[in-house]
Amino acid sequence: MSKLKFLSNPPRFLFFTGKGGVGKTSLACAAAITLADSGLRVLLVSTDPASNVGQVFGIAIGNNITSIPNVLRLSALEIDPQTAAQAYRDKIVSPVRGVLPDSVVKSIEEQLSGACTTEIASFDEFTGLLVDSNLTADYDHIVFDTAPTGHTIRLLQLPGAWNDFLEEGKGDASCLGPLAGLEKQHSQYKSAVDSLADPKRSRLILVARAQKTALREAARTHEELAAIGLTKQFLVINGLLPQAEIVHDDLAIAIFHREQKALEAMPAVLNQLPCDRINLKPFNLVGLSALRQLLIDDELFDSTKGMDSIHHAISFPTLASLTDEMTKDGCGLIMLMGKGGVGKTTLAASLAVSIAKRGFSVHLTTSDPAAHLHETLSGAMSNLVVDRIDPHVETERYRQRVMQSKGAKLDAQAKALLEEDLRSPCTEEIAVFQAFSRIIREAGKKFVIMDTAPTGHTLLLLDATGAYHREIIKQMDQSITHYTTPMMQLQNPKQTKILIVTLAEATPVMEAANLQGDLRRAGIEPWAWVINNSIAAATVRSPLLCQRAGNELAEIERVATQHAKRYAVVPLLADEPIGIEKLLQIMQ
């Protein structure tokens, strides 16, 4: 059916996972189409909170199984985490409402309002597709866009006995509520994890780009999943620039050699995996025609063959012009947000060195566990302090504080349960939020530039900020009339400027627009958009890159006229922007 290793003799379940921006959704959709076109019945399922499977196909899908037009035997489903979480909350709370005191019911609802509830509720729906044969009896293959994370699976493996712990009122830990309600489905979850770990039933496909950060993230994901028994994995390196494109094009030559260098230095654990390499295509991966061409052998088609052209760099608003405006107040919080893989870390570092060079005091930090700020800067300069919110350090600090306070009053059994709960992902979320709150208070005296984690994690962080805001207001002495919570600071454009970072491609722009909508619903208005790594803003001769530059123009126009109040475009650079001097070149 296909020469690609990851589609050779495929088992019933296929799971695509990887860092944001590497092409998981495109590959999952293309694989599903390939299987369906070969005569098999296929269900494509997205478990991504920011799913764009519907946009890729150009139809509305949602939380119901929907047939894909013009692809016989292919249907799709988007699991909505928020809908799943609300249904799960209702299932737990409804039976006790009116039976237990209102204060107890409210406490249960608060325990079920966090990120872990959403994560577990989504997995609850996900496991049904793996375990309940009646739900998927009509399909030969189930293709998942985004596999469950190691965090999710470890959460499900926490021990039981939470119900007694809750009833005795011995703790105020983060994950007890969600886990207590799910204990009855423990056997179903065990069956789901067993299915994931069985190569005869399931195949995990790690997707990466030929970039150091993406390959490091793929290696981390591989080790995290292998540690819990999911060892049989495949690797796909997506979006490689073909060597044929480097003739007489300095930018193409630089990109090609940068990618080859990253592949040569690929982490050893990835070299052991069956691997496919898929070349960059000249077209946007939206619509059936494009998706059907993604996995076809390149020699079977070449839409740029015979082209002899040059694309001259187009002048757009620059990041330097935005920086001029941002520095007028002399201090403030600047947060860069967007999906993974769009270059937030590099742009945050560029802004930091540029503002510090102007003589301002700058604190550059990140809440992204995969970020490497020091490596990007590759040097030090006056006025600039660089650090990161280390989830492991902050979580350990939080654990010790909880054990010394709440844990000191518990007996041995209760203390053991509390220690177990404090190893959950929710604990990390709370700890990171507390560190985040400490840092943004500095923005009243200096510039604080924060490179945030990918979009889903950022929104969870903002959810925590909102919950903190509501709790402060609820507990505040009514005689206090002047106060500022972290959420109020994020909502104040005088204090905080949100920069949404994206690429000039259809899917990243759609996802950035969705992020902007989520922020606005939280009362946070993005200040500007930054379109990064633009080929349209560079001069190229490669036929493939010329065609992609032309494709970018419609997306840049869409950002400028429909989405952004102000925007900047950063060109794709020949030299990787590492080191202070090259970071400053981004501003030119």
Distance CA 17, CA 80 (A): 18
Q: Do residues 515 and 554 make contact, with C-beta atoms less than 8 angstroms apart?
A: no
Residue 354 a catalytic site member:
no
For the chain, the helix, strand and coil percentages under 3-state DSSP, each to the nearest 5: 50, 15, 35
Residue 26 a catalytic site member:
yes
Q: Determine phi and psi for 90, rounding to 5 degrees.
A: -60, -40
Burial class (CB in 10 A: 0-12, 13-18, 19+), 70: exposed
Residue carrying the six token digits 């889903």: 456
Q: For 476-522, list the strands marked E by DSSP.
A: 496-503
Q: Do residues 64 and 76 make contact, with C-beta atoms less than 8 angstroms apart?
A: no
Q: At what angle do helices 250-264 and 212-226 cross, to 10 degrees?
A: 30
- All residues at 6 or more sequence positions from 130 whose CB lies less than 8 Å from its CB, including other chains: 13, 142, 191, 192, 195, 196
Closest to 501 measured CA to CA, from 456, 457, 559, 444:
559
Q: Do residues 56 and 27 make contact, with C-beta atoms less than 8 angstroms apart?
A: no
Q: Which two tokens stand for residue 310?
A: 């040059």
Distance CA 134, CA 86 (A): 24
Which residue is catalytic, options 23, 114, 177, 332? 23
Calculate Rg over the CA atoms of the chain.
25
Q: At what angle do helices 81-93 and 115-131 cross, to 10 degrees?
A: 100
What is the distance, to the nearest Å, from the Cα of residue 51 to the centroid of all Cα atoms in its chain?
11
Which residue is catalytic, options 17, 18, 25, 117? 25
Which residue is catalytic, options 465, 507, 534, 542? 507
Which residue is catalytic, options 17, 26, 34, 346? 26
Which residue is catalytic, options 18, 19, 20, 24? 24
b (16+ CB within 10 A) / e for 447-474: bbbbbbbbbbbbbbbbbbbbbbbeeeee
Q: Do residues 277 and 240 make contact, with C-beta atoms less than 8 angstroms apart?
A: yes
DSSP states along 433-466: HHHHHHHHGGGGTSEEEEEPPPHHHHHHHHHHHH
CA distances from 229 to 32, 153, 155 (A): 26, 10, 15
Look at strands 275-279 and 233-240 and give their pairing.
parallel
Which residue is catalytic, options 21, 177, 239, 343? 21
Residue 507 a catalytic site member:
yes
Closest to 47 measured CA to CA, from 114, 124, 111:
124
Q: Where are the alpha helices (DSSP H) in 305-372?
A: 319-326, 344-357
Distance CA 504, CA 390 (A): 31
b (16+ CB within 10 A) / e for 279-288: bbbbbbbbeb
Residue 23 a catalytic site member:
yes
Residue 350 a catalytic site member:
no
Closest to 461 measured CA to CA, from 518, 509, 418, 376:
518
Distance CA 430, CA 394 (A): 9
Active site residues: 21, 23-26, 48, 507
